[in-house]
Amino acid sequence: MMRLYPTIPHPFVFEPPDGLPNTTCAAGTLLSIGLLLIGRAIDLLPYFICAFRRLGQKGLSRQRVLFDLVEVRGIGPCGAQTVIYDDRMQRLSSFTDSHLFDLAQPVNTDCREVALALDSPLRLKDQGTLTDAIPFRALIANLLRRASALAHFHCGAGLGGLDFAGLVRQAGQVVTRESRLKWKDLERFSTRQRQTMKLGGVVGSIVYEGHLGPFMGILRFGEVAHAGKGTSFGLGKYRIVENPGRTEDSCESSRSQ
């Protein structure tokens, strides 16, 4: 497998609070940070909690802003939330994980149009170089590789029922109907390398048109697991927008049947 993947993807994804890093927070502000754990990383949840607590004691950013970890909630497949850690009790409760890779399986829908809203910079390579156009073929190829690598290296499983080569060929027939993308640069300070690093990518929205039914499963997987490079920093977060244009061709009308 390693000859197919130059690097192994991290089995976790951070989702920073909405509005950051452009929001100034007053003392006492409550922030919610998303954390997706995949496969064997789920068993390491206590270590993630410990790391967050120690990070709060050391402080965030070069300004070393202190914070307290108040509680941790597990989010189920239908959005139901369960408190699994409370800092006052300092006790970890059991929780049930959801099946991320079930989302990647093909779905039966006659979708002709889909819109994606990119909430954090998407760093996507097409033919070896970063692209600001986001061709549908390149996006699907990236999501298929990501799902396959995560399943193999961190879950000890494969993705049955997916024709990778066939899906990538079909994705090449899907066209971009509308693109409102722009490049956005983010910076982070690497304490290991002692320097500021740029994490640029595209944000905005894009509408694809074509025979999209075979791809809705893998697109929903990416909606949760993110796409492109830098996902462990929260990059590549997107949302599938319902009813992007012509209602009669939208995925939502097919999904409700």
pLDDT of residue 103: 81
With CA atoms as reference, report the closest residue to 136 among 240, 77, 210. Answer: 210
State mean pLDDT over 197-218: 92
pLDDT of residue 163: 86
3 state SS of 233: helix
CB neighbours (10 Å) of residue 202? 21
Distance CA 122, CA 130 (A): 10
**Got the DSSP string for 72-119?**
EEEE-TTS-EEEEEETTTTEEPP-----GGGGGS-------EEEEEEE
Most confident stretch, 18-27, 60-69, 103-112: 60-69
- Write the CB contacts of 34 (distance below 8 Å, at least 6 apart in sequence): 13, 14, 15, 16
Residue with tokens 């993110």: 226
Cα torsion angle, 226, 227, 232, 234, sign: negative
Q: Beta partners for 117?
A: 205, 239
Pick the CATH number of 100-255 from 3.30.70.1900, 1.20.1420.30, 3.40.50.1980, 3.10.150.10: 3.30.70.1900
Q: Model-level pTM?
A: 0.85
State mean pLDDT over 3-32: 78
pLDDT tens digits for range 123-136: 999 988 999 999 99
pLDDT band at 247 (very low <50, low <70, confident <90, very high): very low
pLDDT of residue 253: 38
β-bridge pairing 195-198 and 187-190 = antiparallel
Whether pLDDT at 215 is above 90? yes
Distance CA 257, CA 210 (A): 20
- Write the CB contacts of 169 (distance below 8 Å, at least 6 apart in sequence): none
Give start and end residues of each alpha helix (H) in the chain. 45-58, 136-155, 164-171, 216-225, 251-255
pLDDT of residue 252: 45
Domain ranges, ordered by start, for the chain: 12-92, 100-255
pLDDT tens digits for range 70-121: 999 988 766 778 888 888 877 777 666 667 888 887 777 788 999 999 999 9
